[in-house]
Structure 1
Amino acid sequence: MKPIIIVGSGMAGYTLAREFRKLDAEQELVMICADDAVNYAKPTLSNALVGKKAPEHIGLGDAEKMSTQLNMRIEKDTWVKSIDATNHQLVIEQQGQSSTQEYSKLILAVGANPIRLAIAGDGSDDIHVVNSLMDYRAFRETLDNCTTGECDDKRVVILGAGLIGCEFANDLQNTGHQVTVIDLAPQPLGRLLPNHVAQAFQENLEESGIKFVLGTTVEKVSKSDRGYIVSLASGQSLQADVVLSAIGLQPNTALAKQANIKTSRGVITNTLLETNQTDIFAIGDCAEVNGTLLPFVMPIMQQARALAKTLTGQTTNVHYPAMPVAVKTPAAPLTVLPAPIDVEVTWENEEFDDGMLSKAIDADGTLRGFVLLGATAAKQRLALTKLVPDLIPASI
């Protein structure tokens, strides 16, 4: 029998392999990935400094260990160049050599790529992104080199005040760095928080020493004798030793498009995680499931459990219960359950000494999302989660 092939070695790919092996120990399983296939949890990258985790200690297992553990052939440093959906065949490239690989089922776990702004200046190529452990190694190497001489200030400029940008800002500020966060939006976490919560969240982070420059964007990054000069559209200039871009991710859809797999924001699937091409599925940050794109850990877990069953003959639709997201910013403890983007809501607010609770209520009076800021509000997480309707019901 032809193997089941997983393309991608991120959290989605490895979680699926692990869930599949719980149900089927013998079916041939192959993972193909363009990197070194080290297994790690990407969410740990944005607070590794506070946790005193060096890059070499973040990995949970290299390709050889994971291959043995999961009884799976792992082809690392290998690119899938094209998919022949009709003949269930891949063209792959490894060490400059092309070959073909047949599959019975194909799972795209290809993740998302960092969005990169077009920024002028001779320092723009030095802007870091952190979307993988390999990226993080390079970022940490630059930070570690920035500890002596004229670089002793350890000034880090972060582009993007979204979830990842704020988490990195908190981690860096709490480990002796001077952090400035820049965003075109007027507030941090603009897509997740109502204005009043965003303002309180920003104030809490500012109290820890983080600076925000909002309502503008970066036009140029230039090399200087003391690192970099970051020039903003507002006319302001900032000195930086390291520049990190965290302005968001875009699902990787190029391979799917080449195979005539339907895409929108991500790779379009139904609740079985099937694409429009027979025996091809998508999972993780690249997958737009039933019109919903959720690049978080809990949806990946739900997807992996359901798809593992489907691949072993137990047809199972993915179930999305209410899944709050805990933002790793201890200076401003925050939990967010975003309301569906197509639902109009009004916000009901309750304030505490150390934060606030905001509920997103729809026209029928149903709780559709919430934001918890501070330790007191966080205690209501479980009770509130139970009141929110499933995003994708188990019965679909």
Structure 2
Amino acid sequence: MNESNDTNLPLVIIGTGLAGYNLAREFRKYDSETRLLLITADDGRSYSKPMLSTGFAMNKDADALGMTVAGPMAIQLNAEIRTHTRVTRLDPVNRRVWIGNEPVPYRDLVIAWGAQTINVPVAGDAQDAIFPINDLLDYGRFREAAKGKRRVLILGAGLIGCEFANDLLQGGYEVELVAPCEQIMPSLLPVESAAAVQRGLESLGARFHLGPVLERLDRENDGLQAQLSDGQRIQCDLVVSAVGLRPRTELAEAAGLRVNRGIEVDRLLQTSMEHVYALGDCAEVDGLNLLYVMPLMSGVRALARTLTGQPTPVTYGPMPITVKTPICPLVVSPPAAGSNGSWSVEGEGNDLKALCQDQEGRLLGYALTGTAVQQRLALNKQLPPVLAELPQVLSLKSSH
């Protein structure tokens, strides 16, 4: 992998989130000498993104959720970390990235810049009171704005919206959720499981408005008035946008990398260009763009070995998702897209075991709520892998 003229060129990682920092740590287990450069548009603090939806219940501000600042991380990783720095162009043909007018050459490049929040256009004069929470800086801005406030409107009732609802409710806030769907977490849960989690959140005081969307947000007296598409008006103080994430692909596409939903990579996490890899939320691995920690960490372990001369295709075993709604514990392993199965549900109240099985009775996925989450380990043994081991390594570049 290391060509003779690559001796002094760095491994460049764009992004210092879970993907970027964990890859750097894993890479250093195998290679302590190669120059390592991390570039990030934020302040480079190390933190766990899943903890962003637990901060209010734990009464932790952004500084308390942050673990290590950029300086000590650079020492720990024997790396250079350039913070508050935006890559403006990728130049894979000449193996460099551009920061404004500055070219930065690389031995290998790893794109780990994550996903961006989807912005929903809303009329009215209070768009600046809508807060996405996608990183630690976002969390800090929202927490500062929430001081002295009590009423929060959440846009979206998917996994992230429900996690933030549980956290804010436990932190003492009044919460209402608006989403254009018939049930919460529609892409993850069968209707019975969704109803169980919704009942749990409602027991904390959550109010759901499923079906309409937010059309207008205006300032009114000391607060805000939200107008929904069905005519309802909701008084609130702040709005959290949790309508979803979209992989960041614009710079990659402009550079000629193959892009679909995310940046397309093969099982070695290599893009359609040599020496360029993508990892984490921005990557689409064999058609799968999975915005969760388990596939990210599987990618980290495989890619670190590949980058140190041991080509290692990524594999995903069963990957259940633990959703942070402690009022109604939830673990879900959604069936693969396009799989042909049917759901069966058993249990009482909010303690439900929902299984998705094919015609032969093979388990394709499950959703466990309440005390039923205790059955997850036994069920995991029956699940098929999300990405099985390959008999041989196929590269995206050579297969097109």
User: Relative to structure 2, which stretch is displaced further, 231-240 or 21-30?
Assistant: 21-30
Secondary structure of the corresponding residue to residue 15 of structure 1: helix
- Normalising by structure 1, we get a TM-score of 0.95
What's the offset of the Cα at 1:50?
1.1
Q: Which residue of 1 aligns with 2:336?
A: 340
> Which of 75, 81, 95 is the aligned partner of 2:82?
75
Q: CA deviation at 1:86?
A: 1.1
Task: Tell me which residue corresponds to 1:141.
Answer: 144
Q: Which residue of 1 aligns with 2:3?
A: none
Kept in 1, the 8 Å contact 2:196–2:349? The answer is: no
State the alpha-carbon separation in 1 of the partners of residues 276 and 17 from structure 2: 18
- Give TM-score, length-normalised by structure 2: 0.94
Q: Give 1:189's aligned residue.
A: 185
Deviation at 1:204, TM superposition (A): 1.7
CA distance in 2, matches of 1:83, 1:351: 53
1:38 aligns with 2:34: no
**Matched-pair contact (CA < 8 Å) for 2:110–2:277:** yes
- CA displacement at 1:352 relative to structure 2: 3.8
**What is the Cα deviation at residue 365 of structure 1?**
2.5
Alignment match, 1:149: none
The equivalent position to 1:54 in structure 2, one of 55, 61, 72, is 61
Give the structure 1 partner of residue 114 of structure 2: 111
Q: Secondary structure at the match of 2:260?
A: coil
The residue type equivalent to 1:347 in the other structure is W
Aligned to 1:268: 264
Instruction: Please give the residue correspondences for 1:295-310 in structure 2 after superposition, counting only pairs within 5 Å.
Output: 295-310=291-306
| Residues 79-98 of structure 1 aligned to structure 2 (within 5 Å) | 79-93=86-100, 98=101
- CA deviations on 1:9-43 (whole Å, 9 max, x unpaired) are 11100110011011111111110111111110010
Match of 1:217 in 2: 213
**Matching residue within 118, 124, 129 for 2:127:** 124
User: Partners in 2 of 1:353 and 1:217 — Cα distance?
Assistant: 30
Find the counterpart in structure 2 of residue 255 from structure 1.
251
| Structure 1 residue 199 displacement after superposition | 1.5
Distance 1:184 1:23 in 2: 48
Q: CA 1:188/1:353 → structure 2, altered by over 3 Å: closer, same or farther?
A: closer
Question: Cα distance, 1:226 vs. partner?
Answer: 2.6
2:387 is the counterpart of 1:384:
no
Q: How far is 1:363 from its partner?
A: 3.4
Q: What is the Cα deviation at residue 364 of structure 1?
A: 3.7
1:15 corresponds to 2:22:
yes
- For 2:81 and 2:358, locate their aligned partners in 1 and report how far apart those are by CA, in whole Å: 47
Mapped to 2, the partners of 1:198 and 1:137 lie a distance apart of 30
Cα pair 2:352 2:368 within 8 Å, conserved: yes
Q: Determine if contact 2:192/2:345 at 8 Å carries over to the other structure.
A: no
Q: How far, CA to CA, are the matches of 2:63 and 2:14 in structure 1? A: 24
Alignment-derived partner of residue 24 in structure 1: 31
Residue matched to 1:179? 175
Q: Structure 1: which amino acid aligns with 2:12?
A: I
| Alpha-carbon displacement from aligned partner over 1:240-269 (angstroms, at most 9, x marks no partner) | 011111000000001110111111111111
Distance 2:341 2:190 in 1: 11
Q: What is the identity percentage for the equivalent residue pairs of Structure 1 and Structure 2? A: 42
Structure 1 residue 354: deviation in Å? 4.5
1:220 positional shift: 0.4
> CA separation in 1, counterparts of 2:211 and 2:27?
46
Alignment root-mean-square deviation, CA: 1.0
Q: Distance in 2 between matches of 1:26 and 1:77?
A: 26
Equivalent position SS for 1:250: strand
State whether residues 197 and 350 of structure 2, in contact with CA within 8 Å, keep that contact through their aligned partners in structure 1: no
Name the SS for the 2:143 alignment partner. helix
Q: Counterparts of 1:20 and 1:178 in 2: how far apart (Å)? A: 45
Unaligned runs of 5+ in 1: 147-153
Larger mean Cα displacement after TM superposition, 15-24 or 195-204: 195-204
Match of 1:277 in 2: 273
Q: Separation in 2 of the partners of 1:308 and 1:162?
A: 32
| 264 and 363 in structure 1: CA distance in 2 versus 1, 3 angstrom threshold | farther
CA deviation vs aligned residue, 1:153-198 (integer Å, no higher than 9, x gap):
x010000001111001001111211100110001111110011211
Q: Residue by residue, what CA displacement relative to the aligned partner does 1:131-158 show, whole Å, maximum 9, x if unpaired? A: 0100000000011142xxxxxxx01000
* SS of 1:144 mapped into structure 2: coil
1:273-325 Cα distance to aligned partner (Å, 9 max, x none)? 01101110000000110111110011111000000000000100111000111
Equivalent residues in 2 for 1:318-329 (5 A)?
318-329=314-325
Instruction: Return the alpha-carbon distance in structure 1 between the equivalents of residues 83 and 159 of structure 2.
Output: 30
Matching residue's letter, 1:102:
P
TM superposition shift of 1:52: 2.2
Aligned counterparts of 1:34 and 1:134: Cα–Cα separation in 2: 11
Contact 2:350 2:370 in 1 (8 A): yes
